[in-house]
Amino acid sequence: MKKGKVYLVGAGPGDETLITLRAIQVLGLADCVIYDGLANESLLRYAPIEAEKVGVRKRTGPRPWTQSEIDALLLDKAKEGKIVVRLKGGDPGLFGRAPEEAALCAQEEIPFEIVPGITAGLAAAAYAGIFLTDRDHASQVVFVTGREAATKTEATLDYRFLSGFDGTIVLYMAMGNLDQITSHLIDGGKNPATPVAVIQNATTPRQRLLKSQLDLVAMECREKDFGAPSIVIIGPTAVGNDPFNWFMNRALFGKHIVIARDPAGNDVLAEKLAAAGAIPIRFNAVRIIDQSDSPPTQEAISRLSEYDWIMFTSANGVRHAFKALYSAGRDARAFGKAKVACIGKQTADILESFGIRADFVPAKYTSEIMAKELCSLESLKGKRIVLLRSGIAPKDLVETFTAVGAQVDDVAVYTVEPNRENIEEIREQIQARGIDWLTFTSSSTVRSFLDQIPVSLVREAGLKIGSIGPVATKQLKALGLEPTLEADVHTIDGLLAAIEQYEENHRDSQVSKKR
Ligand code: SAH
């Protein structure tokens, strides 16, 4: 029987870009991914779509997993001949159960590999501007687990050693026992004024940092509600240096920003915002409903080569048409001799990625121009045309082509519906003053947002409003809202830059007020 293989893989500390290239490679090979609660779930997208993905949170989630259940799952899958990626937070070798999992593999003669990861202790320090060693203050570092303190006798943690240790102590899993740990260290002779830094949710937009000292830190953590997952750094280097705290000093760090675009556009903007440190909140004004398996779509797809012209008016149309084609077990050859027209370069580019080059892309990107140009290019009298597009597209194309004698099939391969999915959540967050900015990239999203969220609420909450350009601004004003800023350059990047600049200026004035 074919034997599988197990990869024990470090996912890094939280920020998904802190994973290794090797980890991404092995994720791409996986038949099954077994992932921990601390591993960033968005990393699962590097595994094949068809790979099985099993979350094995130990303490949270709908059902807590025990280590023996995880072991059994790992073995079962590997024995089925599968490539199993065991994805763990940070580094698999530090304070996890990788040693047991490796021992099991060895015992069952299942080949395995270990892919190291960036451990939370190193990442938390780097993302809080703390250098764990420095020539003047610390030339040694220890990694220590604080969990032991609760479950085992004091002797497990060598407090005598740690109290006398003059380097940097990096504590994992310490939040439950911080009182005992710090008291033991002080009792052992460590200076109560030793600097301590606590970093919660390190490397994520929700990162928090507390700077304190050994005798006060446990109390301050309680007061300020610092909990797991946190790294506690003890020693002279924990003082850090505020200007070194590059991650949290970024202008957009931790800002909650509502983005209101179509879902694909939201993904692009969300990624850019997250990279700048903000917390994007998606308002998906519309939802795309797949119609690729509807009878009219399937019918049109089965007769594609009988048409003279196949027309696409959006990237979504292309994607859904190909979805229908593939699910019917066919491919681009189904187009046969039919010619293909696309509105817009983006639509044509997507089409090309599926192996079809458009015969006709109008110079200007509207349906009306497409119709006019095509009619002047060749006679459409008696020609058979199929439009593969959205169910709510205007009918003018159909009318124009029918008027010149063509026979037109207008096929909805997808449709678009207003989406109210998360509007309640956003409303509550605004009421709770948990939102900093609203951003608008078109007048239609201004309308759909303010259709559902009253202007008065936006005003009361004092939300800042970023507009991409004059058209969105005009719509905002028409509905009674004055944008806080309008981007000079009317692109997503222009809008992002304007908001960053605003926050930067604003911070300067706050700092000078304090002085
Ligand atoms: N193997 C992991 C550690 C697992 S133990 C690693 O190498 O990072 C779990 C502990 O790791 C948590 O209790 C916390 O102390 C720490 N931790 C993990 N992710 C963290 C994060 N994003 N921020 C702060 N601490 C984190």
Nearest to 453 by CA among 442, 441, 463: 463
Highest mean pLDDT (candidates 130-134, 422-426, 509-513): 130-134
Range 87-97 burial, b when 16+ CB lie within 10 A, else e: bbbbbbbbbbb
89 lines ligand 1 (CB under 6 A): yes
Q: What is the pLDDT of residues 108-118, one digit of tens each?
A: 999 999 999 99
pLDDT category at 169 given cuts 50, 70, 90 is very high
Q: What is the pLDDT of residues 332-377, one digit of tens each?
A: 999 999 999 998 777 898 899 999 999 998 866 667 777 888 888 8
Amino acid at 374: L
Q: What is the pLDDT of residues 451-486, one digit of tens each?
A: 889 999 999 999 999 998 888 899 999 999 999 999
pLDDT category at 419 given cuts 50, 70, 90 is confident
Average pLDDT rounded to a whole number, residues 260-266: 71
Q: Which atom of ligand 1 is nearest to the CA of 199?
A: 24
Contact between 338 and 304 under an 8 Å Cβ cutoff? The reply is: yes
Phi-psi region of 453 (alpha: psi -120 to 50; beta: other; left: phi over 0): beta
96 lines ligand 1 (CB under 6 A): yes
pLDDT higher for 294 or 509? 294
Domains of the chain are 5-118 (3.40.1010.10), 122-244 (3.30.950.10), 256-285+420-511 (3.40.50.10090), 289-417 (3.40.50.10090)
Is 173 designated active site?
yes
Average pLDDT rounded to a whole number, residues 396-410: 92
Q: What is the pLDDT of residues 28-67, one digit of tens each?
A: 999 999 999 888 888 998 999 889 999 998 765 667 888 8
Residue 404 and residue 383: Cα distance in Å, rounded? 10
pLDDT at 483: 97
Q: Give ∠ CA 158-127-277 in degrees, rounded to 5.
A: 145
Highest mean pLDDT (candidates 140-154, 251-265, 381-395): 381-395
Q: What is the pLDDT of residues 309-335, one digit of tens each?
A: 999 988 889 999 999 999 999 999 999
484 CA → ligand 1 middle, Å: 39
Q: Please give the radius of gyration of the chain, using alpha carbons only, rounded to the nearest integer.
A: 29
pLDDT at 515: 36
**Best residue among 56, 95, 119, 233 to mutate for probing ligand 1, ranked by most atoms within 8 Å of CB:** 95
What is the share, in percent, of the chain residues with pLDDT greater than 70? 94
Average pLDDT rounded to a whole number, residues 90-109: 94
198 lines ligand 1 (CB under 6 A): no
> Does residue 408 surpass a pLDDT of 80?
yes
Highest mean pLDDT (candidates 217-221, 277-281, 418-422, 502-506): 217-221
172 CA → ligand 1 middle, Å: 6
Contact between 360 and 348 under an 8 Å Cβ cutoff? The reply is: no
pLDDT at 262: 67
pLDDT higher for 91 or 393? 91
Q: Where are the beta strands (DSSP E) in 273-335?
A: 279-282, 286-290, 309-312
pLDDT at 264: 65
Residue 361 and residue 342: Cα distance in Å, rounded? 5
19 CA → ligand 1 middle, Å: 14
> Does residue 514 surpass a pLDDT of 70?
no
227 lines ligand 1 (CB under 6 A): no
Q: What is the pLDDT of residues 178-210, one digit of tens each?
A: 999 999 999 999 999 999 999 999 999 899 999
Is 219 designated active site?
no
